[in-house]
Structure 1
Amino acid sequence: MESLQTPARVLAFAAHPDDIDFGAAGTLAGWARSGAEITYCIMTAGDAGGFDPSDRSGVTELRSAEQREAARRVGVRDIVFLGERDGYLEVNHAVIARVVEQIRRVRPDVVLSMHPERNWDRLQASHPDHLACGEIVTRAVYPAAENPFAYPELAEQGLQAYKVPWLWFYGAPRERENTAVDVSSTVDVKLAAIRVHASQHPDLEGMDASVRRFLQDNARRHGLPEGASAETFHAVGVNTPETIAGF
């Protein structure tokens, strides 16, 4: 993974505003500091989030603003909102085509996504929208994005087929983790980004402490030095020198 410490272009997908910040903001902040160009794509409007029952009409606008500010703190300027209904995200060709469009537009070295497999150790990590996000992105990465005959309307718009080198999943079941990124130097950036999503977290101090413990546990499990913090991923080589393509 040494060559992937600073990819040139990264495209990070999430089901809801705040998912990326919990799952990968430390890694992304480090890459941004080193010059990576990073794009976020948020699939749903986040309209089922929050705790205030009195005014639901402004939830989407609020959560989109929170995500933009959180991204700014991480070092990300380019954000795309697909606007699907929160809680109703489905694996279908309409959404897959929109994801392929983003992949062909950005042409990233690394695609980040939520994991498509359910995590039975922590079911809260496996919201149905999270699982759908992972499956949608996986289908978009392979074979759709690299198949010149898939979604021909995209090619007609000048968005030609593109082979994604790496697909990194965050929120993976522990048995799938194969990559740990030391985020000790960007923990404060990650937590600052998470805290921006105040509409979703009634106990910010408790959330802060829980995230710190979780990151330190990741580091211990993956053999990093005592006191370090880590984000973990299931990294999949899609089109690398080691992968066999064409089947």
Structure 2
Amino acid sequence: MNGRLTPLPEDWRRALAIVAHPDDLEYGAAAAVAHWTASGKEVSYLLVTRGEAGIATMEPGEAARVREAEQRASAAVVGVGSVEFLDHRDGVIEEGVALRRELAAAIRRHRPELVVTLNHHDTWDGVNWNTPDHRAVGRATLDAAADAGNRWIFTDLADRGLRPWDGVRRVAVAGSPQPTHAVEVGEQDVERAVASLAEHRAYIEALSGREPAEYARDVVTGVLDSVAPRADGRRAVAFEVHPRG
């Protein structure tokens, strides 16, 4: 990454974060969420799956229950009380009109000015292949931000009382290999983000075999430190921002 990242504007009040799995937001973006909620902004989470295919040593039904509980606890650490799940199957999310409709419905219901999602590109940093779930949800979220405001798309939503919402001003993509903006975070934001990731105890222990708090600190500080050279030397969360309107 080269060049200074532009500060992400904070002229908004409500945000909706849409991702595929429990823990997707905790690998860096939660530090920005902690910063936002501490400043009085309202942030809600929408998870497309319950992450039931994410723990190889745990049967999917049990994993779904455990990971949902971990996500709710994780969100609470950074000041998020609204956590919803769409119950798509983990690992086989289908990008398309049906998913766009569900996400547009959620955007109309929450009426955010900022929508946050995760890397929709083919790779992480141009090297490691991204998962199909991340790609599908990220791309559908970008589409749904526009769909939510179009009265002639998904007209059945209005019949359900979900009026068009054209108030999304930006979609911010976390973990993108093409970041444009950054949110600088303070020490308390970092500590809350570390604690938030550490709440995914069962997932982290199965994934790494490490103690969750230690693992979380290494991961979160590593992500935030990697952005610092492009944020005036301060720890920050990087986003690829797509303005609307």
TM-score (norm 1): 0.88
Per-residue deviation, 1:32 = 0.6
Residue 14 of structure 1 corresponds to: 19
Alignment partners' CA distance in 2, 1:8 and 1:31: 9
SS in 1 for 2:61: coil
Q: Structure 2 counterpart of 1:198, which letter? A: R
Instruction: Give me the whole-angstrom Cα distance separating, in 1, the residues matched to 2:51 and 2:143.
Output: 23
2 CA distance for matches of 1:230 and 1:116?
A: 20
- Structure 1 residues 16, 39: closer, same or farther in 2, change over 3 A? same
Which residue does the alignment assign to 1:181?
A: 183
SS at match of 1:27: helix
**Aligned pair in 2 of structure 1 residues 2, 206: CA closer, same or farther (>3 Å)?**
closer
Structure 2: 5+ residue stretches without partners: 1-5
- Residue by residue, what CA displacement relative to the aligned partner does 1:44-93 show, whole Å, maximum 9, x if unpaired? 1211012424x443110110000000111110111110011010011122
2:242 paired with 1:236: yes
> Superposition pairs for residues 104-123 of structure 1, below 5 Å?
104-121=108-125
**How far apart, in 2, do the equivalents of 1:36 and 1:210 lie?**
25
Q: Distance in 1 between matches of 2:44 and 2:237?
A: 19
Please state if 1:136 is matched with 2:140: yes
CA distance 1:3–1:21, shift in 2 (3 Å): closer
Report the CA distance shift for 1:37/1:126 in structure 2 as closer, same or farther (over 3 A): same
Instruction: Summarize deviations over 1:138-169 as a string: whole Å, max 9, x none.
Output: 11112x11110111111112211112111111
Q: Which deviates more, 78-87 or 177-186?
A: 177-186
3-state secondary structure, aligned to 1:16 = coil
Q: CA deviation at 1:123?
A: 5.1
Higher relative contact order (CA 8 A, sep 6+): 2
The SS at the match of 1:21 is: coil
1:125, 1:171 within 8 Å by CA — same for their partners in 2?
no
User: Could you say what the CA RMSD is over the residues aligned between the two structures, in angstroms?
Assistant: 1.8
Residue 159 (structure 2) aligned to one of 152, 156, 160: 156
Q: Indicate which of 65, 68, 81 corresponds to 1:64.
A: 68
Question: Partner of 1:44 in structure 2?
Answer: 49
* Percent identity for Structure 1 against Structure 2: 31
Shift of 1:4: 2.9
| Partners of 1:79 and 1:223 in 2: CA distance | 30
